Structure 1
Amino acid sequence: MTIDLDELLKVRARFDAEAREGAQADAPPASVERAGAVVRHVAPEPGWNSVLWSDLDEGTADAEIAAQVAFFTGRGCPEFEWKLYDYDRPADLGDRLRAAGFVPEPPETLMVGLVSELAKLPVEPPEGITLRVVTDEAGVDLMMRVHTGAFGRERPRLREQVLGKLREEPETIAAVLAMAGDTPVSAARMEMQPGLAFAGLWGGGTVPEWRGRGIYRLLVAHRARLAAELGIDYLQVDASDDSRPILERLGFGVLGVTVPYMWTGNAS
């Protein structure tokens, strides 16, 4: 069952309040700071640094962008992200970020689904596939192997982030592999915080030769059932163009479009 428009607007407001303005750190020793008109995620290397939420207008945006560049570069961060949503103010915030040296990555669709409905999806694996829960370093290495095959690049920083969560805050992450015999062919994770209505679905990727067999859908259904057991109301996804049609068929609704704007200090 797809969420209707009026409900989506309410859900979006709740998402902004809980997951952006009220965000929690992804893992120790990271922290979330409210600095005037922005909320930012701050972590030592190799952690993730980002502006998560802002409340700006035409008169304050440029100065705030400069202040965040100064803050993160002053900490020695080699890069950081400004997580922009298409309904953020001012309307030209993306143009202002580009003018300040940020580089946009490909846009993704912010989608949300009702756990109570998604948990009803069938979870019978396709022929030849079994699920393996990731709990240790060996499992994380298999996930990274899948991500390299599915997305075409290695992500050592993500490896350390997932390992950190499994070791220090295992209650905030659920990671799973789809295995064809001893070969990992798909991987995904769910990240959540105690007491929040939203859990994020991340990293869903399948190696090319195993696509089109229902594995992505299986991993969504698996995580939805875990979310239901934990009392989580909604699953949130930053969906690629490949994932969006699948998620829409499963009942996810669109809240907006999000673009990661990256600062590396190397943009011209």
Structure 2
Amino acid sequence: MIKPNKYLKAYDDQLRTDAETPSAIHVEKLDVLRLVTFAGGRGFITYRDLGSLNEDGISTLVGQALEHFRRDAQITTIEWKSRGHDHAPGLHEALLAHGFTPDEPESIMIGPLEALCSDGSTPDGVLLRQVSSDVEVRAMSEMVDEAFGDPASTRQADALLARLARNDGMELWVAETAGRMVGAGRLEPVPGTGFAGIWGGAVLEAYRGRGIYRALTAARAKSALAQGKTLAHSDSTEYSRPILERSGLVKVSTTTPYNWSR
């Protein structure tokens, strides 16, 4: 258990800071919270920890954070990102009482980037490449919505294009077969740390089980290694977690997003 504990400490110390929200438009502090505004009317609430707050203190803070975003008419959704290893008495109940709804928990996975490169040969007939143009980013986002079973939306594409314009290091990778995008994922190197985030991995259902997800992951890991990064981190669904575990990443905790909509 020494390595998972070491990884978890690195996660808390290095990633639960401004490094967590490189695409933020605005960040405001509220006690221990960081209240983050993203493009597209999205609010986001995160923190290093909740300190010694008790149930009453946490409930009060949830209400204050919600009111902060409610005052901004452009904010239509808010995500409160919780972690399973935090000391947070009464947080779940407070969030429900203030109108937040929990999503399914995801596994926080961390491990060496090199491990992700060892089992990621590109399947025959599949092309892996980066995309950055308006047309391709929008096509990628539409494909990802389809892969996750979500309604098609322009919000994610708009946010990704805004980030690419800021040149903050994010890379968008796609997998194509017969000229069709069938998989995608983001790489987010974290400045000032040894970490790179492996995010948004998605493959269309009809193309799963062929090694495309692993190949996309390996391509992003190789790019991060070339930039001097050594560790990968990812919030993984139960679909992607076993793949990352087989490549040497370990589950150090869980994260559950709680969502509020105006």
Q: TM-score, normalised by structure 1?
A: 0.89
The letter for the 2-side match of 1:49 is G
Partner residue, 2:19: 23
Matches within 5 A, 1:113-262: 113-119=111-117, 121-153=118-150, 154-169=152-167, 171-262=168-259
Aligned partners of 2:93, 2:19: CA distance in 1, in Å?
25
Unaligned runs of 5+ in 1: none
Partner residue, 1:42: 37
Give the superposition deviation at 1:10: 2.1
The letter for the 2-side match of 1:224 is A
Give the superposition deviation at 1:182: 1.0
Give the superposition deviation at 1:258: 0.7
Give the superposition deviation at 1:226: 0.8
Give the superposition deviation at 1:12: 1.4
Answer whether contact 1:144 1:159 (CA < 8 A) is retained: yes
Aligned partners of 1:198, 1:87: CA distance in 2, in Å?
20
The letter for the 2-side match of 1:228 is L
- Does 2:72 align with 1:75? yes
For the residue of structure 2 that corresponds to 1:238, the secondary structure is strand
Answer whether contact 1:47 1:157 (CA < 8 A) is retained: no
Answer whether contact 1:38 1:52 (CA < 8 A) is retained: yes
RMSD: 1.8
Match of 1:11 among 3, 7, 11: 7
For the residue of structure 2 that corresponds to 1:232, the secondary structure is coil
Partner residue, 2:45: 51
Deviations 1:82-125, CA, capped at 9 Å, x for gaps: 00011122243122211221111111111112123334x25431
Deviations 1:170-205, CA, capped at 9 Å, x for gaps: x42111111102111111111223222222111111
Alignment length (residue pairs): 257
Aligned-pair identity in percent equals: 29
Answer whether contact 2:115 2:247 (CA < 8 A) is retained: no
Describe the shift of the 1:216–1:13 C-alpha distance in structure 2 as closer, same or farther (beyond 3 A).
same
The letter for the 2-side match of 1:200 is G
Answer whether contact 2:58 2:90 (CA < 8 A) is retained: no
Partner residue, 1:107: 105
For the residue of structure 2 that corresponds to 1:23, the secondary structure is helix
Give the superposition deviation at 1:33: 3.1
Answer whether contact 1:199 1:232 (CA < 8 A) is retained: yes
Aligned partners of 1:97, 1:224: CA distance in 2, in Å?
36
Deviations 1:132-165, CA, capped at 9 Å, x for gaps: 2112112202212321321112242211111111
Matches within 5 A, 1:82-93: 82-93=80-91
The letter for the 1-side match of 2:46 is L
Describe the shift of the 1:47–1:219 C-alpha distance in structure 2 as closer, same or farther (beyond 3 A).
farther
Answer whether contact 1:111 1:254 (CA < 8 A) is retained: yes
Answer whether contact 1:47 1:161 (CA < 8 A) is retained: no
The letter for the 1-side match of 2:231 is Y
Describe the shift of the 1:107–1:122 C-alpha distance in structure 2 as closer, same or farther (beyond 3 A).
closer
Aligned partners of 1:101, 1:35: CA distance in 2, in Å?
20
Unaligned runs of 5+ in 2: none
Answer whether contact 2:34 2:46 (CA < 8 A) is retained: yes
Partner residue, 1:263: 260
Give the superposition deviation at 1:22: 4.1
Partner residue, 1:64: 61
